[in-house]
Structure 1
Amino acid sequence: MAQKPSIPKGTRDFSPAEVAKRNYIFEKIQQQFKKFGFQPIETPSFENYETLMGKYGEEGDRLIFKILNSGDFLRKADPKAYEKRDSVKITSSISEKALRYDLTVPFARYVVQHQNEIEFPFKRYQIQPVWRADRPQKGRFREFYQCDADVVGSESLWQEVEFIQLYDEVFNALNLPGITIKINNRKILSGFAEVIGEQDKLIDFTVALDKLDKIGEEGVKKEMKEKGISPEAIEKIGPIFSLNGNFAEKVAGLKNILENSKTGQKGIEELEFIQKAIAQMPLQAAKLDLDVTLARGLNYYTGAIFEVSAPEEVNLGSIGGGGRYDDLTGIFGLKNMSGVGISFGLDRIFLVLEELDLFPLTVTENTKVLFINFGDKEALYALKAVQNLRRNNITAELYPESSKMKKQMNHANKRKIPFVVLAGEEEMKQQKFTLKNMKSGEQFSVSPDELLNKLN
């Protein structure tokens, strides 16, 4: 007996209904990307090994799917690495390509490679799958889509303002209220480290701070101590744990904490600029909130940092994020190319809409009307009507075989097709059709024009 087939862990099959719902989200995001002037690009699913490796840190490198060279790949293997069973060194000699880990590094490569063809500032969007050799768990997959939008070649803070508006427009288009767009600034975090005299431990400090909502104030302080940050420094930064109130009140508190940090003051200026602009153009589905503990992407973010939280009633964490980076293309030799970008978490947005029952009923509608097949003559008569309906943007189909009526009706029920058309000898004589509403059971004798009108 043949073994039942399966798919790799961390990947998924999608049913027609699931694909329809995912496409609904894609379309809403894409519509707004276009409205805001972003242009689509696509990059290969795999890149050269050296393009990706070393760009995400040690952990990221470990999670990149490497592709074995075709043919006798061991022939080119590094003999010393092979002898020592050094998997890290041997991989580079037997694998020249790798599946992309995200869309950001391939985008940076694209900008550098095509810099002479691109008009800057360059606004691009990209909706494509990425792959990570992560441990699969709820909400985390090895293959998933990213929906990114970036602007490169501009240092203007109006770009940050527009990205906040873009987030808001997308979630408003999805009829998803209660969204919180959290914002912070890398300069604020650098200012904290400067004030307490721990600039060399910026990453350790901010990684611990970023866990405040998970492990609490005492947990954060404990982790900071374990990372070698002095008790005096931790006590000095204590006021940040009690920052609360609205955006303006938090900014006022920050000014006191960072009064001796030029870097921190610059971060405050940028935050105030963005907040004042948004205040003049109120958001519809989202609110903007300052979160001084937000510290994602510190390896490349240099200015604003964004994270988008789902409505409180859905415990799903972030559903989007991004920020300002001043030298992303520098990894490929193109210096001083500032950019800012955001990403939408498609899978988590899907789960939020599903949990809150916010998908429109029409999203999963497929065929609107099924024509019953009574034989070849009747099928030809029916198919002419099917063709006319399709040309008028009505989804219609003919059951392929002249099976028993009950089987064809059951097929319509299982597919949740709302209407069935019977076109037998009697209907052909009268040049009419019998239209049946599968929900109410009502039947109507209609002409071709009446059929079109009723289905419209």
Structure 2
Amino acid sequence: MAYQPPSGARDLLPLDVAQKYWIEARLEHIFQQWGYHRIITSTVESLDTLMAGGAIDQATVIELQGTGQTRLGLRPELTASIARAAVTRMDQVGYPQRLYYTANVFRRAAQASQGEQQEYYQAGVELLGSDSALSDAEILLLLNDAVRHLNLTDFQVVLGNAGLTRSLLAPFPEPLRSQVRDAIARLDRITLETLDLSEALRQRALTLLDLRGTPADVLQTVSQLDLEIEQRAIVNRLKSLVELLSGGESPLPLVLDLSLIQSFDYYTGVVFEVVANTPQGRQVVGKGGRYDHLLGVFHPQGQSYPGIGFMLSVEGLHQALLPSGYLPQDTPASDWLVVPRNDRAAAAAFAYAQTIRDAANLVRVELYLDPESSAAMIRDRAKKRRIHRIAWVSETGSPEIETVN
């Protein structure tokens, strides 16, 4: 129907907006406490930017009709857009740069998924210009702080390393490597057991699939593998990171998963997901990782800078928080209802309402728009809208204040 949102789109009504803002305001507060500054990038980007050097599947991009030869699309995520803005507009600022965002993203639904949501809301951060283990720790500790600030306590952070996982997959020949990678990403043991692999490679694939559990157990298992020097260095860095994350009053609830593979291929180091336990089951409400080559795709001279960040799904957090009772249950009520006693009192009523608004911060004042209504109807309207004070204003501007219980 012409009167409904298009397939995959939806409206946010006032209570939806109040709950969304509750989440975003708390996240922004934490991001700012950690020294991050908000960035707003264009919703529409060139397709080249959105494809991020081939790391993003073009099938997920909602394309638009551009002018001339320019191909445009709606952003399916924020990291590529922020990377472009940082190296082309902010390079003179110096590094590290700490940036955060709250924004909508768009992803084309599969053709077989009529009505599947295509617009999403995200909040996240990007730390650009540092490849140290401390920057890995900062992002993960900030993530922990942000999620706990929402009073979401029943969650886990699943941590892996894209570079290590990719190198452990290197012995598999193409195209089997892609099939093994996809099967591991789906935790699909049956496919791994039926692929045309040598027994040694099959056991390697199954070992990779099982590299998941407590950090101590997984690190012990992977340390016993026949690792190259570079792989062992990654494992040692992971050990140091886990130690950093295990201290403090609110240590991260970590699960180490060296089979974790993210959907975006630009990740080069640590990758992670935030998994919340909800009444509907386990739900991924955030993800992120390190991308040390992405910024070079957009730099005019091809110079690259390291980066790491995460995004949190506002919708996912909303669903996880709904049963908790922490989200607003009603839209904010107005504080005053100003009522002109008759048509001639309208100007005085508008003036008095403005006087109240100017006298205090965030006072909500409504003007009653039908002076012919009875006093009983007006009082009933105030009660239904949870307004506790009525100002009856005469032509002279003199108000009579009534408290409504």
TM-score tier (shorter): 0.7 to 0.9
Deviation sequence 1:97-124 (CA, Å, 0-9, x none): 3222221221222123125422111111
Equivalent residue, structure 2, for 1:125 = 100
Q: Provide the rounded CA distance (Å) in 1 between the counterparts of 2:18 and 2:180.
A: 44
Q: Provide the rounded CA distance (Å) in 1 between the counterparts of 2:115 and 2:154.
A: 21
What displacement does 1:164 show? 1.4
What displacement does 1:4 show? 5.1
- Correspondence 1:37-436 to 2 at 5 A: 37-53=35-51, 55-56=53-54, 60-69=57-66, 93=69, 95-135=70-110, 141-194=117-170, 197-198=171-172, 202-212=177-187, 215=188, 217=189, 219-222=190-193, 225-226=194-195, 228-240=196-208, 246-256=214-224, 258-283=225-250, 287-297=253-263, 299-315=265-281, 317-333=283-299, 334-361=302-329, 364-376=331-343, 386-390=353-357, 391-393=359-361, 394-405=363-374, 406-414=376-384, 416-421=385-390, 423=392, 432-436=400-404
Structure showing greater Rg = 1
Aligned length: 397
TM-score normalised by length of structure 1? 0.77
Q: Provide the rounded CA distance (Å) in 1 between the counterparts of 2:229 and 2:177.
A: 16
Give 3-state SS (helix, strand or coil) of 2:281's partner. Answer: coil
Deviation sequence 1:1-52 (CA, Å, 0-9, x none): xx75222111111111111111111111111111111112222221234333
For 2:4, the aligned partner's letter is S
Q: Residue 336 of structure 2 contacts residue 364 of structure 2 at CA under 8 Å; is this kept in 1? A: yes
What displacement does 1:346 show? 1.1
Q: Residue 139 of structure 1 contacts residue 348 of structure 1 at CA under 8 Å; is this kept in 2? A: no
- How has the CA–CA distance of structure 1 residues 96 and 221 changed in structure 2, closer, same or farther, with 3 Å as cutoff? closer
Give 3-state SS (helix, strand or coil) of 1:206's partner. Answer: helix
Q: Provide the rounded CA distance (Å) in 1 between the counterparts of 2:61 and 2:210.
A: 40
- Gaps of at least 5 residues in structure 1 are 71-75, 77-92, 438-456
TM-score normalised by length of structure 2? 0.86
For 1:275, the aligned partner's letter is V
Q: Provide the rounded CA distance (Å) in 1 between the counterparts of 2:334 and 2:92.
A: 44
Q: Residue 52 of structure 2 contacts residue 297 of structure 2 at CA under 8 Å; is this kept in 1? A: no
Deviation sequence 1:281-302 (CA, Å, 0-9, x none): 2426x51221222111462111
Q: Hey, which of these two has a bigger chunk of helix by percent?
A: 1
Give 3-state SS (helix, strand or coil) of 2:382's partner. Answer: helix
What displacement does 1:262 show? 2.7
For 1:221, the aligned partner's letter is L
Q: Provide the rounded CA distance (Å) in 2 between the counterparts of 1:357 and 1:382.
A: 38
For 2:238, the aligned partner's letter is L
Match of 2:10 among 9, 12, 34: 12
What displacement does 1:178 show? 0.8
Q: Residue 190 of structure 1 contacts residue 263 of structure 1 at CA under 8 Å; is this kept in 2? A: no
What displacement does 1:133 show? 2.1
Q: Residue 153 of structure 1 contacts residue 339 of structure 1 at CA under 8 Å; is this kept in 2? A: yes
- Gaps of at least 5 residues in structure 2 are none
Deviation sequence 1:279-337 (CA, Å, 0-9, x none): 222426x5122122211146211110010001253425211001011100222353331
For 2:327, the aligned partner's letter is F
Root-mean-square deviation (CA, aligned residues, Å) is 3.1
Q: Provide the rounded CA distance (Å) in 2 between the counterparts of 1:235 and 1:96.
A: 45
The percent identity for this pair of structures is 22
Q: Residue 152 of structure 1 contacts residue 338 of structure 1 at CA under 8 Å; is this kept in 2? A: yes
* Mean CA deviation greater in 375-384 or 333-342: 375-384
Q: Provide the rounded CA distance (Å) in 2 between the counterparts of 1:259 and 1:282.
A: 37
